[in-house]
Amino acid sequence: MKKQAFNPYLPSWEYIPDGEPYVFGDRVYVYGSHDFFNGYVFCMGDYVCWSAPVDDLGSWRYEGVIYPRNADPMNKEGNMCLYAPDVTVGPDGRYYLYYVLDKVGVMSVAVCDTPAGKYEFYGCVHYPDGTRLGDREGDEPQFDPGVLTEGDVTYLYSGFCGRGDKSRTGSKVVTLEPDMLTVRDEPVLVVPGSEYSAGTSFEGHAFFEASSIRKVNGKYCFIYSSEVMHELCYAMSDKPTEGFVYGGVLVSNTDLHIDSYKPADLPMAMGANNHGSLVEIGGERYIFYHRHTNGTWYSRQGCAERITLNDDGSFTQAMMTSCGLNGGPLEGRGEYPAYLACNLFTPKHSLYLGEANAPRITQDGRDGDEEPGYIANLTEGSTAGFKFFDCKGIKQVSVTTRGYAFGASIEVKTAWDGEVLGVIKIDATNVWETFTTECAIPDGVNAIYLTYRGGGSAMMKSFTLA
Residues serving a catalytic function are 18, 209
- Closest C-alpha to 148, from 216, 100, 84: 216
79 exposure class (CB count in 10 Å sphere: 0-12, 13-18, 19+): exposed
Q: State the Cα–Cα distance between residues 240 and 221, nearest whole angstrom.
A: 9
Q: State the Cα–Cα distance between residues 7 and 211, nearest whole angstrom.
A: 23
Q: State the Cα–Cα distance between residues 24 and 204, nearest whole angstrom.
A: 36
Is the Cβ–Cβ distance between 439 and 398 less than 8 Å?
A: no
Which of 454-465 are b and which e, b meaning 16 or more Cβ less than 10 Å from the residue's Cβ?
Answer: beebbbbbbbbb
CB atoms within 10 A of CB 414: 20
What does the CA dihedral 34, 336, 377, 406 come to, rounded to 10 degrees? Answer: -160
Is the Cβ–Cβ distance between 271 and 283 less than 8 Å?
A: no
Q: Is the dihedral of CA 238, 243, 203, 287 positive or negative?
A: positive
Contacts of 442 (CB under 8 A, 6+ apart): 391, 414
What DSSP designation does 169 have?
-
Contacts of 131 (CB under 8 A, 6+ apart): none
Is the Cβ–Cβ distance between 353 and 417 less than 8 Å?
A: no
Contacts of 362 (CB under 8 A, 6+ apart): 293, 294, 295, 373, 374, 375, 376
Which amino acid is residue 118, in one-letter code? K
Is the Cβ–Cβ distance between 275 and 84 less than 8 Å?
A: yes
What DSSP designation does 325 have?
G
Q: H or E stretch including 232?
A: strand 231-237
Which amino acid is residue 244, in one-letter code? F
367 exposure class (CB count in 10 Å sphere: 0-12, 13-18, 19+): middle
Q: Residue ranges of the alpha helices (H) in 263-324?
A: none
